[in-house]
């Protein structure tokens, strides 16, 4: 845990260099089986660690100074290869830092490596990476979820104390749920998207994955804040996430959407979720039934808006200014077509083509504008629900982690599994997953907590109270205890 490591660093029981070497050794030992990291660069990490040790010695350390953190490989980090899990960017070394990377640098954190992900963050299983699938540390036959699957697997296997991810349709919460760790997607606009390779700009949001809610609070304190370089970043002071952790759940009204607890939810998932809600009640929360009547439209709406935005964002990959360029071509247009055919994987191409279709002449109103209208209906459902409750609780995913190769033949089947996470992205709300037990085959289950806009502090306090009373977040996958 970050707070414990920071205490050890402050007391000089361990140096950041030693800590960084320990984690690099764990990556060395375990990454071959998990494939969680795309790039590690020990020289760079150790140089940052030594700088952190100097800062600790000078008495100017903050809570994250000297703590190793891994970043999803779509955060541009100067001098680091930033691949986005794609052949298109296989050899792209970023010439600049993302805002989030700058913030971690300023805090004195050590960049431990770049983590594997579904290509351009499109996927829910991490099977869409050009660099191969990531495996779930709880069961190497299972997927870790996606698209931030490398970050989730790395934290779960304790290859790094914390990592960043991004969440466009559930890409932090679902892998956190599948790997038994804690993950938070902040309110849209809370964390700057500057330097994050864009997928669907009106839905993308960066956030942390870690072992506990307390750690998430420390990480969010560094990541959140205004950045004028992201035109959708909200100029609003950040709350005291760490200071607010002790807030508890006494009197907290937890909304339980009747649409969440249906036959779609596997029993082995429903049971731990309901037990977690009972635990929150025991700690002083109350529950109230709420309704999200347009919830079932979320996945269809998402598969208009996200591909539309992706087709536009990914048009920049043309083989001219950076990234892959095909070796042989007849003319400029042929160069574009071959470069993009070679550089993008199958799922990315499908989404670009769907996006191209829904934005094309004659279909724009029926698909794109209609999807934006239904998006508002979905967002209003949450506004109505939050008139009756402070937080919404439910599952993060309809099942535990599934087996590798079991769902990759039918894209639509995989899409439908994101029914509990996507509505939150459409509404722009903050959501998190915290481990609450185990389902079939001993695979983890995550409790999703959804807050109102900018209510991250309240969510973190509730999750922290739950974790003070339970120990699911302390469970380490059996193969990774040493």
Partner 1 sequence: MLSREEITRLARLARIEVPEGEAEALLLQLNGILGLVEQMCAVATDGVEPMSHPQDVMQRLRDDAVTEADARELFQAVAPAVEDGLYLVPRVVE
Active site residues: 72, 147, 171
Of 196 and 213, the one with the shorter C-beta distance to partner 1 is 196
Q: Is 37:111 a contact under the CB 8 Å cutoff?
A: no
d(CA 206, CA 107): 17
| Nearest one of 66, 169, 168 to 111, comparing CA atoms | 66
| Nearest one of 84, 20, 39 to 344, comparing CA atoms | 84
Residue-by-residue DSSP string for 231-285: TT----PPP-TTGGGGG--TT-EEEEETTTSSTTS-HHHHHHHHHHHHHHHHTT-
Q: Residue 374 CB, nearest distance to partner 1 (Å)?
A: 5
Residue-by-residue DSSP string for 154-201: HHHTTSSSEEEEE-SSSTTHHHHHHHT-EEEEPPTTSB--TTBPPSST
Of 253 and 349, the one with the shorter C-beta distance to partner 1 is 349
Q: Residue 167 CB, nearest distance to partner 1 (Å)?
A: 13
Q: Is 396:103 a contact under the CB 8 Å cutoff?
A: no
Member of 51, 337, 440, 476 binding partner 1 (CB under 8 A): 337
Segment 168 to 187, residues that bind partner 1, using CB under 8 A: 187
d(CA 457, CA 451): 9
Quick note: the x/- pattern for partner 1 over 58-97, rule CB under 8 A, is ----------------------------------xx-x--
Q: Is 396:173 a contact under the CB 8 Å cutoff?
A: yes
Member of 369, 387, 469, 474 binding partner 1 (CB under 8 A): 369
Member of 14, 57, 140, 366 binding partner 1 (CB under 8 A): 366
First to last CA, the chain: 16
Q: In what order do the strands lie in the sheet with 162-166?
A: 37-39, 110-115, 68-72, 162-166, 206-210, 182-185, 431-438, 444-451, 391-395, 253-257, 286-290
Of 340 and 443, the one with the shorter C-beta distance to partner 1 is 340
Q: Three-class SS of residue 304?
A: helix
Cβ within 8 Å of residue 367, ≥6 positions away: 304, 308, 357, 358, 359
Of 218 and 340, the one with the shorter C-beta distance to partner 1 is 340
Q: Residue 316 CB, nearest distance to partner 1 (Å)?
A: 12
The count of residues interacting with partner 1 (CB under 8 A) is 71
Q: Is 306 in the site for partner 1 (CB under 8 A)?
A: no
Binding window for partner 1 (CB under 8 A); candidates: 63-71, 129-137, 281-289, 329-337? 329-337
Residue 174 Cα distances to 165, 418, 434, 458, angstroms: 11, 8, 10, 21
Member of 88, 101, 107, 304 binding partner 1 (CB under 8 A): 304
Q: Is 32 in the site for partner 1 (CB under 8 A)?
A: no
Segment 400 to 429, residues that bind partner 1, using CB under 8 A: 410-412, 415-416, 427-429
Segment 433 to 462, residues that bind partner 1, using CB under 8 A: 453
Q: Is 316 in the site for partner 1 (CB under 8 A)?
A: no
Q: Residue 339 CB, nearest distance to partner 1 (Å)?
A: 8
Binding window for partner 1 (CB under 8 A); candidates: 53-61, 123-131, 243-251, 376-384? 376-384
Q: Is 387 in the site for partner 1 (CB under 8 A)?
A: no
Segment 181 to 240, residues that bind partner 1, using CB under 8 A: 187-189, 202, 228, 231-232, 234
Q: Is 37 in the site for partner 1 (CB under 8 A)?
A: no
Q: Is 384 in the site for partner 1 (CB under 8 A)?
A: no
Member of 58, 59, 263, 331 binding partner 1 (CB under 8 A): 331
Q: Residue 415 CB, nearest distance to partner 1 (Å)?
A: 7
Q: Is 43 in the site for partner 1 (CB under 8 A)?
A: no
d(CA 298, CA 303): 9
Up-side HSE of residue 63: CA atoms within 13 Å toward CB? Answer: 17
Member of 57, 288, 320, 387 binding partner 1 (CB under 8 A): 320
Segment 94 to 153, residues that bind partner 1, using CB under 8 A: 95
Q: Is 136:153 a contact under the CB 8 Å cutoff?
A: yes
């Amino acid at each position: 845990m970050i707070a414990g490591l920071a205490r050890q660093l402050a007391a000089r029981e361990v140096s950041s260099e030693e800590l960084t070497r320990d984690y690099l050794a764990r990556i060395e030992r375990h990454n071959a089986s998990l494939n969680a990291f795309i790039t590690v660069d020990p020289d760079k990490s150790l140089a940052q660690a030594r700088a952190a040790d100097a800062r600790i010695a000078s008495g100017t350390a903050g809570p994250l100074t000297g703590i190793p953190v891994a970043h999803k490989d779509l955060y541009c980090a100067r001098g680091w290869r930033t691949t986005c899990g794609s052949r298109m960017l296989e050899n792209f070394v970023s010439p600049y830092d993302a805002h989030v990377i700058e913030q971690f640098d300023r805090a004195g954190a050590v960049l431990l490596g770049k983590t594997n992900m579904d290509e351009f963050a499109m996927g829910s299983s991490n099977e869409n990476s050009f660099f191969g699938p990531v495996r779930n540390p709880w069961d190497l036959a299972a997927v870790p979820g996606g698209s931030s699957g490398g970050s989730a697997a790395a934290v779960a296997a304790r290859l790094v104390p914390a990592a960043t991810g991004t969440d466009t349709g559930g890409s932090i919460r679902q892998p956190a749920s599948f790997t038994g760790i804690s993950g938070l997607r902040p309110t849209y606009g809370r964390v700057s998207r500057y330097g994050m390779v864009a997928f669907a700009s009106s839905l993308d949001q960066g956030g942390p994955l870690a072992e506990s809610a307390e750690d998430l609070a420390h990480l969010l304190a560094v990541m959140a804040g205004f950045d004028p370089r992201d035109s959708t970043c909200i100029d609003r002071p950040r709350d005291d996430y760490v200071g607010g952790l002790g807030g508890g759940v006494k009197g907290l009204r937890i909304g339980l959407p009747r649409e969440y607890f249906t036959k779609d939810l596997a029993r082995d998932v429903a049971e731990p979720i309901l037990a977690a809600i009972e635990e929150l009640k025991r700690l002083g929360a109350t529950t109230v039934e709420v309704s999200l009547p347009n919830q079932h439209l979320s996945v269809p709406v998402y598969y208009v808006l996200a591909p539309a935005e992706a087709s536009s964002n990914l048009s920049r990959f043309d083989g001219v200014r950076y990234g892959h360029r095909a070796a042989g071509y007849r003319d400029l247009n042929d160069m574009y077509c071959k470069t993009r055919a070679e550089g993008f994987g199958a799922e990315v191409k499908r989404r670009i083509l769907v996006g191209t279709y829904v934005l094309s002449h004659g279909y724009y109103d029926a698909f794109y504008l209609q999807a934006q209208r239904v998006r508002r209906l979905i967002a209003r459902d949450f506004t109505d629900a939050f008139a009756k409750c402070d937080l919404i609780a439910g599952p993060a995913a309809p099942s535990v982690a599934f087996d590798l190769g079991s769902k990759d033949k039918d894209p639509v089947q995989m899409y439908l599994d994101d029914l509990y996470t996507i509505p939150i992205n459409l509404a722009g709300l903050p959501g998190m997953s915290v481990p609450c037990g185990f389902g079939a085959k001993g695979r983890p289950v995550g409790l999703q907590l959804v807050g109102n806009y900018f209510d991250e502090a309240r969510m973190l306090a509730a999750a922290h109270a739950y974790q003070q009373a339970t120990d699911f977040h302390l469970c380490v996958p059996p193969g990774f205890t040493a």
